[in-house]
Homo-oligomer: A and B are copies of this chain.
Amino acid sequence: MEIKSYMTRIGQQARQAAGRMAKADTATKNRALTYIAGAIRRDAALLRAANQKDLDIARDNGLEPALLDRLSLSDKAIETMASGLEQIASLPDPIGEISGLKLRPSGIQVGQMRVPLGVIGIIYEARPNVTVDAAGLCIKSGNATILRGGSEALHCNQVLASLVREGLKNAGLPQQAVQVVETTDRAAVGELITMTEYVDVIVPRGGKGLIERLMRESKIPMIKHLDGICHTYIDDCADLEKAAEIAFNAKCQRYGTCNTMETLLVASAVAQDALALLARRYQDEKVELRCDEKAYEILHGYPYLARATDEDWTTEYLAPVLAIRTVNSLDEAIDHINRYSSKHTDAIITENYSHALRFLREVDSSSVMVNASTRFADGFEYGLGAEIGISNDKLHARGPVGLEGLTSLKYIVLGHGEIRK
């Protein structure tokens, strides 16, 4: 009950701050962002000390090395946070922009104005940099935000929160525009995702387990993706050198990211040559290849070879493992992707114009690519300037979500006394 009233107060404060943030002008918001960037650099030592405290506790609690790694805040990571805020400050302000004004036969002019969503709840795991990125994006887009970071990063997040508050205050903005939930009680998350009156959208950042739980329990719309089962399809008209380069990059450039390729589809007609080229590269990285019958035969002798089962088509490995399937046509490739893909990012490698256009139109994923690595599916690479998350859903934002995904368009009508006849 205490958690409930604590969260309700946070919600009410956020709702109130949201009203003031929606009115804030661009220069004021940028002043806050730039100030916070400076304060982060100024207090880098403080941040490292708080981070050390978090790391010590985490180690005592036996946190996995991978999580410890994501929790730790290097000098470089601190500088990246600060410069990230400056980059957000340099982006155009989306709020208040009027677009598409059209004169209607009745005499009214109808257009749309971009406005903030209101209050954004962000739920994330260990990484403390999310605190600053998310705060920055929400400030710039005129929203209030409630941040619920992983309990492992609590000390560091508290320092960051105080720097953000300092920046807001300094710019004359409400300090409660960015609130960090300062309890590690999991019930706080339960409250956050059901306070429909105070929170307009939830952005969860974390593993599949977290997202699945939130999907079941949230009463508030979410901007989210569950997993990234990304495909690369090597078409029978592909340039095979290009194909090998891209397929290697899509799998091996980083294993743990959601835009990493997990399944490779190869047109049967070129499977022999394409897989031979790829096997040499994958072998250096000890990538396990889980193959359908035909690919298995072709790759006979490859040291990390296995047979694929149906489960492999829906598995996000996040590891040096790749499922490989041969297909007899573009149709078969598109069908496989629309059936098994997580609708995140899928690519075709082809020199055939019609195949490229059909793939772009018919693959029902949030990012569809021709002759490029799936690893490009990212807010920075797409030129959004920053990214609050990636959405695999079709409503509202789809794909990498930047400032615009934290806004909505309302209709505005400019009249001169018109009445409806």
Interface residues of A (CB under 8 A from B): 19, 22-23, 96, 102, 104, 106, 108, 110, 113, 115, 117-118, 200-201, 221, 239, 242, 245-246, 248-250, 253, 338, 347, 360-362, 364-373, 375-377, 381-383, 393-396, 398-400, 408-420
Contact = CB atoms under 8 A, between A and B. Distances in A.
A291 to B, nearest CB: 23
A396 B395 contact: yes
A381 to B, nearest CB: 6
Given A239-B417, A365-B410, A366-B410, A372 B108 contact: yes
A398 B409 contact: yes
A22 B364 contact: yes
A110 to B, nearest CB: 5
24 contacts: A102-B383, A106-B381, A108-B381, A110-B381, A110-B382, A110-B383, A118-B364, A118-B394, A200-B394, A201-B394, A245-B419, A246-B417, A250-B419, A253-B420, A364-B410, A367-B412, A369-B415, A371-B416, A371-B418, A372-B415, A373-B419, A375-B419, A375-B420, A376-B420
A362 B419 CA distance: 23
Contacts of A368: 113, 410-413
Contacts of A411: 366-368, 377, 382, 398-400
A365 B22 CA distance: 13
Contacts of A113: 360-361, 368
Contacts of A250: 419
Contacts of A393: 221
